[in-house]
Amino acid sequence: GENVEQHPSTLSVQEGDSAVIKCTYSDSASNYFPWYKQELGKGPQLIIDIRSNVGEKKDQRIAVTLNKTAKHFSLHITETQPEDSAVYFCAASKSNSGYALNFGKGTSLLVTP
Amino acid sequence: GAGVSQSPSNKVTEKGKDVELRCDPISGHTALYWYRQSLGQGLEFLIYFQGNSAPDKSGLPSDRFSAERTGGSVSTLTIQRTQQEDSAVYLCASSFFGAGEKLFFGSGTQLSVL
């Protein structure tokens, strides 16, 4: 099955700096790559996703890049704010009915004022 | 309800007892997932339902774990003869059709096995 590796496991940045989280996947047939944010005591929420037919996607301060050849994708958060502090999970799957989403182990991001 | 509802939110049980965890997905969502999150760990996939059938049960850790979904809606995850290592947050998620789509997660059930 799909194996997703995520790094780093913890990340501390100062407010206003950028944060980058990287993931690799094993199944070359995977074509859907979402990122989820989990705040304390809550379930994860989708913040951005990318499909294999594009290399980059942006949404305000958040961007995701995908390198299909190398089988890795990254989350970039610019101008970080304290409210960005949370655990971030990357995931990968094949976008066909019958396949589940496989998650990385998460990155705990702390943004200090 | 506007979101995925899970009950109970907290469950404390004694080792060896059986527990049932319930998930009410968003109305109209055909896909339903169960994940387990141990303290400080990632999201461990357990089982995936498409309608009432489970195309992927590969994540169930042992035969003490089972799940069912009825009427294409409510799902129950049952853990028999609970062990201390079963202690975790059990998360349920749903989506319209399945993989390749946004998952909507519930807040989870915190299970503590004493």
Burial tier of A10 (Cβ tally within 10 Å: 0-12, 13-18, 19+) = exposed
Q: How far is CA B56 from the centre of its chain?
A: 13
Residues of A in contact with B48 (CB under 8 A): 99-100
Looking at residue A40, the DSSP 8-state letter turns out to be T
Query: Which residues in chain A have their CB less than 8 angstroms from residue B56's CB?
Result: 98-100
Q: From the CB of residue B9, how many other CB atoms can be counted at a distance below 10 Å? A: 13
Predicted pLDDT of residue B72: 85
A33 neighbors A70 (Cβ within 8 angstroms): no
Residues of chain B with C-beta less than 8 angstroms from the C-beta of A89: 42-43
* Whether the Cβ atoms of residue A13 and residue A109 lie closer than 8 Å to each other: yes
Q: Which residues contact A100 (CB under 8 A, 6 or more apart)?
A: A93, B33, B45, B48, B56, B59, B99
The answer to whether residue A3 scores a pLDDT higher than 80 is: yes
Contact between chains at B107 and A6 (C-beta distance less than 8 A): no
Residue A96 has pLDDT above 70, yes or no: no
Mean pLDDT of the A32-51 span: 94
Q: Check pLDDT > 60 for residue A36.
A: yes
Chain centroid to Cα B80, Å, comes to: 14
pLDDT surpasses 60 at A57: yes
Residue pair A62/A76 in contact (Cβ under 8 Å)? The answer is yes
Phi first, then psi, for residue A50 (nearest 5°) are -140, 145
At A113, the amino acid letter reads P
> What is the mean predicted confidence (pLDDT) over A96-109?
84
Residues of chain A positioned with their CB less than 8 A from the CB of B43: 44, 89, 103, 106
Q: Is A106 close to B106, i.e. CB distance below 8 A?
A: no
CA distance A5 to chain B (A): 11
pLDDT on residue A98: 61
- pLDDT in 10s for each residue of chain B, 114 residues: 579 999 999 999 999 999 999 999 999 999 999 999 987 678 999 999 989 988 888 889 999 999 999 988 999 999 999 999 999 999 999 998 766 788 999 999 999 999
The per-residue pLDDT for B42 is 84
Are B98 and A44 in contact (CB < 8 Å)? Answer: no
Chain B closest-CA separation from residue A20 CA (Å):
18
Distance from CA of A8 to the nearest CA of B (A): 13
